[in-house]
Chains A and B, each alone.
Chain A
């Protein structure tokens, strides 16, 4: 079972598709949650997901906007999609008949 931050990361990377890399994923998570996402948490979680085979990462091209530094590109694997789907279903099931809006 994924952790909640792992789920957020996989979902953000899936949404970004071919444009998924460290800074973009971080922005996506911060926009969605309204909380700061630390680089430390992001990269250590990415490593953990990669070890589990849920994402694939590689160094991309360098851009002037990044001061000539390369990006760490991220791609969600089939196993990662399965794990995120399973997590989402579990959250949906456990939330059935619970309305947080009224509380």
Chain B
């Protein structure tokens, strides 16, 4: 008897949680109907889930949701995951250098501080850029696919995970520069360790890609709350920031950044600092939303 009550209570909670996936008005009507007809437990859960599934499936009708996922979500997810792997490999060398070979006597060595001062800004900039690109990508995905965010978001994270675990076909080498620090035998001592080879890249992807992108998606769904001109400015800044993510990985840009023959001149700067354009625009424009709200409610 007690077990039945506990089960009922648990199922009721699950039904309540499942009904949160419905619009508030529809949730009211459906939960009211279930209460009125005295349905509870597994049957109520089935009823709610059947409606949730139908509602979600209805959003996927037509070509637009699929085009958004195929044209925006998946390519950006692949690119971010690759960028994350490159960043992880690149910075793993410094981490290995300082953590695995730590000796307290080196803090008295001026060369250590000089080297640290040289590499730390680069590492921090690469982490900041990756987080900014992830957030901005999430913002664009949230904006363009807000009605199917559950689907688009799932596609984004599944693709990112798949790329991170299985990699990408070699044909991408012709378009993007995918070489990573682990591809050079000089760095073998670092990547022979499972932590730097497998664990560290996944941790970095979770912290600097998944979490910022998820946050960006949620904020992207609410861009409608910005005044029209602010929406346009924000989207331009976000597109420019994501543009730098795309071009920074292109072969021709990398050749120019690294001054590789035959394109020795002109040497171009890294595009990483421009990654901050999306979040910076959001932070600058966000006060407009807060100021606009009371006016809207008064009118």
Contacts and interface: CB of A to CB of B under 8 A. Distances in A.
A67 B30 CA distance: 11
Contacts of B29: 21-22, 43, 59, 69-72
A69 B34 CA distance: 10
B25 to A, nearest CB: 6
B28 interface: yes
Contacts of B47: 38-40
Specify which of B32, B35, B55 lies most central, judged by the most chain A CB atoms within 10 Å of its CB: B32
Interface in A42-73: 43-44, 59, 62-63, 65-67, 69-72
A39 B36 contact: no
B55 A67 contact: no
A90 interface: no
A5 B193 CA distance: 63
Specify which of A40, A62, A70, A72 lies most central, judged by the most chain B CB atoms within 10 Å of its CB: A40
Contact of A44 (B25, B35, B36, B58): B58
> Which size class do B's interface residues fall under?
20 to 34
Nearest to B48: A39
A39 B30 contact: yes
B55 A44 contact: yes
A22 B47 CA distance: 13
Interface in A1-40: 21-23, 26-27, 38-40
Contacts of A43: 26, 29-30, 51, 54
A38 B49 CA distance: 10
Given A44-B58, A59-B25, A67 B37 contact: no
Interface string B45-57: 0111011111100
A24 B215 CA distance: 42
B31 interface: yes
Chain B at the A interface: SS class: helix
B33 interface: yes
A23 B51 contact: no
A71 B54 contact: no
A72 B22 CA distance: 14
Nearest to B29: A72
Contacts of B34: 39
Given A22-B29, A43-B26, A59-B28, A69 B35 contact: yes
A27 B38 CA distance: 12
Given A38-B47, A39-B48, A59-B29, A23 B54 contact: no
Contacts of B36: 23, 65-66
Nearest to B53: A40
Interface string B7-28: 0000000000000000001101
Given A66-B36, A67-B35, A40 B51 contact: yes
A97 to B, nearest CB: 39
Contact of A40 (B28, B37, B50): B50
26 contacts: A22-B33, A23-B33, A26-B37, A38-B47, A38-B50, A38-B51, A39-B34, A39-B47, A40-B53, A40-B54, A43-B26, A43-B30, A44-B54, A44-B58, A59-B25, A65-B35, A65-B36, A66-B33, A66-B36, A67-B35, A69-B28, A70-B28, A70-B29, A70-B32, A71-B32, A72-B26
Interface of A: 21-23, 26-27, 38-41, 43-44, 59, 62-63, 65-67, 69-72
Closest 6 pairs between A and B when the two form their complex, measured CB to CB: A69-B32, A40-B50, A66-B32, A72-B29, A40-B51, A23-B33
